[in-house]
Structure 1
Amino acid sequence: MSITAGSYTLGPESGRLLVHTTRTGLGAKAGHDLTIEVTRWRGDAMVDTVNAANSSVSVEIDAESFEVREGTGGVKPLTDSDREEIGKTLRTKILHTDRYSTITFRSTRVDGTAESFHAEGDLTIVGVTRPVTVQGVLTDGRVQGSAVIVQSRWGIRPYSAFFGALKVSDEVELRFDLGLAPRQ
């Protein structure tokens, strides 16, 4: 199935944005690999099927809207209390949402085809803007893809506990799975 040229509105009603973390360190067995969903976000995509360079995408994320959905691995299962504590730590110690309420991505270059593309752009997290590349494909009428984000490039110190024996890996992966709804 191919995509048609035009403007599209993006948001939670069209699909999901998920952040995946992994753990490292001597105490990694005690922690969990996390799947965190962004629940409040919006974006716009302009798709030119003839010349990908004329395509663009922008996304704005509410930094308060990260919710822990799943934790795999670990010595014991992730509890609701653990999810709440992780969410609080993410907001207060990692993303500093009291000062930086939004995370934004704005494409600067799009290459490829609708079926297989990459978008380079500027990602702003905690007030720091750095380039990032998003890879994507069109599969069964849905746009799916990912980007790897190295937290330290944005000045974010990855979470650690137990005097550094348990750490979240510096690299986290953002994945998306979206249906494109034409802008009304």
Structure 2
Amino acid sequence: MSITAGSYTFGPDSGRLLIHTTRTGLGAKAGHDLTIEVTRWSGDATIDTAAPANSSLTIEIDPGSLEVRTGTGGIKPLTDSDREEIERIIREKILNTGRHPAITFRSTRVDGTAESFHIEGDLTIAGVTRLVTVQGLFADDRVRGSAAIVQSRWGIRPYSAFFGALKLNDEVEVRFDVGLAAKD
């Protein structure tokens, strides 16, 4: 089945939005590579299969809804209290969700085909807006893709511990896998 022109909505009920982090530094063995899921988010897409440049995408994320799903590597397994502490640090120190209650993406350019596309758009994180490129594909009634986010471009200092010996890489990967529901 191929995608048809129209307006669509999507969110956590139709797919997943995941953030993948990796670690670096002399103390990297002590930390974990994380998979963090966004649990409250929504998106709207208008797809014009005849003229992809007329297509558009908007997504809104509740940054307070990030939940650590897995942590791989590390000297010891990630505990529930580790997860809670990481989530608290993300909310309070990294994303400052009290002052910035939403992360938004609004497309500015769409090209490619319905099966393989690139979307450029404005991503606003913690009050800072920068251009980002999303790469995706449509297959098996699902839209899948990813974007690389370099945290420092948004003024975010990657998390570090142990006096900087353990830190997250500046670049994180955002991946999505969603089904589209036609708007009523």
Indicate whether 1:75 and 2:75 are aligned: yes
Indicate whether 1:55 and 2:55 are aligned: yes
SS in 1 for 2:98: coil
What amino acid is aligned across from residue 70 of structure 1 in structure 2? T
Shift of 1:43: 1.1
Identity %, equivalent residues: 77
Indicate whether 1:163 and 2:163 are aligned: yes
Separation in 2 of the partners of 1:11 and 1:137? 17
In the alignment, what sits opposite 2:5? Answer: 5
Listed one character per residue, the Cα deviations across residues 19-53 of structure 1 (whole Å, up to 9, x for unaligned) are 00000000000000000000000110000111100
Q: Normalized against structure 2, the TM-score is what? A: 0.99
Separation in 2 of the partners of 1:2 and 1:136? 14
Unaligned runs of 5+ in 2: none
Unaligned runs of 5+ in 1: none
Indicate whether 1:137 and 2:137 are aligned: yes
In the alignment, what sits opposite 1:26? Answer: 26
Deviating 4+ runs (over 6 angstroms): none
Shift of 1:139: 1.7
Shift of 1:145: 0.1
Separation in 2 of the partners of 1:29 and 1:181? 42
SS in 2 for 1:64: helix
What amino acid is aligned across from residue 126 of structure 1 in structure 2? A
When the two chains are superposed, the root-mean-square deviation of aligned CA atoms in Å is 0.5
